[in-house]
């Protein structure tokens, strides 16, 4: 199967997806004992999801009940929410493989929104240390200069990183909607990377978009590293960067494995297992160590103090309030800039 091949032509000359969306969920032979791989996968991935949700729920509850800096902690809670959302969506894809094509693209939307919240969290750290806020800081900020290129102002540098980061959730939302539409029209075809289907194009768009966003958040962090040192941003960046980075690499790896028929059905592995089950099992498993690392990276300890805390209701309402995210997505300036 060539990377851009694998399709058949119908009697009317139209390209037809080489495999049916109605997967054979159960393989012909059991995987372990009397368990099929699908049942084994649901048990293992379900256990991982439970662990992730428990750990992250405790972390979010502690932030909500020690709400001393709501602007920062609500953003931290939004970032933490990525792990259970990622895990639950992957688990649903494993349980309902025929619906996976429609639900899994929304994982990119979660990821994009969490990346945006991480960016806004770094901005809050900057604002905390400067009386004039983010706008005043970047008016006097001298950004890193590229060799052989003229320097730019701090405001312009910030604007470039801002746009490169926030294009990702917007593009991810568009890709998710386009995936659902093209799947409904039978022109998506997960099993093929042929250029006649939408799958390869939407995959490339998503990969390019996330690459731009990740590179920009790294540039932003590196340029402000000395200003953010007091907030221990490296562990926060590492926790988030590894999630995004692994998802990015795994998407490429599984695309290649499927395109070259390296990962294919066997007597104990069905088409649903190879296309959906295994990639999402990997995600469920890897979310567990990330969940264990998050209480350290996004510790509540710096926010615990003698001062009275704000109501935890404010944290939970802020967590589900989309207005801050919507403002960030539709404006090119934030926090007084």
pLDDT given at position 193:
63
Q: How many CB atoms lie within 10 A of CB 208?
A: 11
Contact between residue 179 and residue 105 where contact means Cβ atoms under 8 Å apart: yes
Whether the Cβ atoms of residue 97 and residue 25 lie closer than 8 Å to each other = yes
Task: Say yes or no to pLDDT of 3 above 50.
Answer: no
The model's pLDDT over 136-147, given as tens digits with 9 standing for 90+, comes to 888 888 888 777
Residue 66 is predicted with a pLDDT of: 92
Ramachandran sector of residue 116 (left: φ over 0; alpha: ψ -120 to 50; beta: rest): alpha
pLDDT of residue 286: 93
Q: Report the share of the chain in percent with pLDDT over 90.
A: 32
The answer, yes or no, to whether residue 11 has pLDDT greater than 70, is no
What is the predicted pLDDT for the residue at 298?
A: 93
Cα(148)–Cα(150) distance, integer angstroms: 7
For residue 15, the model assigns a pLDDT of: 63
Is the pLDDT at 19 greater than 60? The verdict is: no
Average pLDDT across the chain, whole number: 83
User: Lowest-pLDDT range, 166-175, 202-211, 218-227, 255-264?
Assistant: 255-264
Least confident of 118-132, 158-172, 233-247, 255-269: 255-269
pLDDT number for residue 10: 47
Choose from 12-21, 48-57, 88-97, 260-269 the range with maximum mean pLDDT: 48-57
In whole angstroms, give the CA distance from residue 271 to residue 261.
12
CA gap 190, 21 in Å, rounded: 9
pLDDT score for 4: 38
Reduced to 3 states (helix: H, G, I; strand: E, B; else coil), residue 305 is coil
Q: What is the pLDDT of residues 90-132, one digit of tens each?
A: 999 998 888 888 888 898 899 899 999 999 999 888 887 777 7
pLDDT at 24: 66
User: What pLDDT, on a 0 to 100 scale, did the predictor assign at position 240?
Assistant: 78
Residue 332 — very low, low, confident or very high, per pLDDT cuts 50/70/90?
Answer: very low
User: Is the pLDDT confidence value at 256 over 70?
Assistant: yes
More confident residue, 249 or 172: 172
Give 191's pLDDT tier (boundaries 50, 70, 90): low
Torsion angle of alpha carbons 242, 246, 248, 249, nearest 10°?
130
Q: Which of 82-91, 176-185, 231-240 has the highest mean pLDDT?
A: 82-91
Distance CA 114, CA 76 (A): 9
The full set of domain ranges for the chain reads 32-330
Average pLDDT over residues 238-257: 80
Q: Identify the pLDDT of residue 23.
A: 61
In the three-class reduction of DSSP (H, G, I as helix; E, B as strand; rest coil), residue 5 is classed as coil
In the CATH hierarchy, which fold is given to the domain comprising 32-330? Rhopdopsin 7-helix transmembrane proteins (1.20.1070)
The pLDDT of residue 12 is above 70? no
């Amino acid at each position: 199967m060539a990377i851009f091949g694998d399709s058949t032509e119908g009697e009317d000359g139209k390209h037809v997806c080489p495999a049916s969306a109605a997967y054979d969920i159960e393989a012909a032979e059991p995987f372990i004992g009397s368990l099929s791989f699908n049942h084994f996968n649901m048990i293992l991935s379900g256990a991982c999801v439970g662990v992730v949700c428990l750990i992250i729920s405790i972390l979010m509850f502690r932030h909500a009940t020690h709400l001393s800096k709501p602007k920062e902690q609500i953003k931290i809670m939004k970032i933490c929410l990525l792990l259970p959302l990622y895990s639950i969506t992957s688990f649903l894809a494993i349980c309902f493989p025929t619906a996976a094509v429609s639900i899994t693209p929304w994982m990119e939307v979660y990821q994009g929104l969490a990346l945006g919240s991480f960016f806004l969290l770094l901005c809050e750290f900057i604002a905390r240390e400067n009386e004039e806020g983010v706008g005043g800081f970047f008016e006097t900020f001298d950004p890193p200069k590229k060799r052989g290129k003229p320097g730019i102002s701090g405001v312009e540098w910030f604007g470039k990183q801002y746009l490169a980061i926030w294009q990702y959730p917007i593009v991810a939302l568009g890709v998710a909607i386009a995936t659902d539409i093209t799947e409904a029209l039978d022109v998506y075809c997960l099993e093929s990377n042929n250029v006649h289907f939408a799958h390869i194009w939407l995959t490339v768009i998503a990969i390019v978009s996330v690459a731009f966003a990740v590179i920009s958040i790294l540039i932003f962090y590196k340029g402000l590293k000395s200003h953010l040192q007091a907030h221990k941003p490296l562990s926060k960046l590492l926790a988030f960067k590894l999630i995004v980075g692994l998802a990015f690499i795994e998407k490429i790896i599984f695309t290649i494995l499927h395109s070259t028929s390296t990962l294919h059905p066997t007597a104990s592995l069905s088409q649903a297992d190879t296309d959906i089950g295994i990639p999402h099992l990997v995600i469920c498993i890897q979310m567990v160590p990330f969940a264990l690392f998050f209480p350290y990276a996004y510790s509540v300890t710096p926010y615990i103090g003698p001062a009275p805390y704000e109501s935890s209701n404010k944290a939970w309402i802020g967590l589900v309030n989309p207005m801050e995210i919507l403002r960030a997505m539709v404006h090119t300036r934030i926090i007084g800039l």
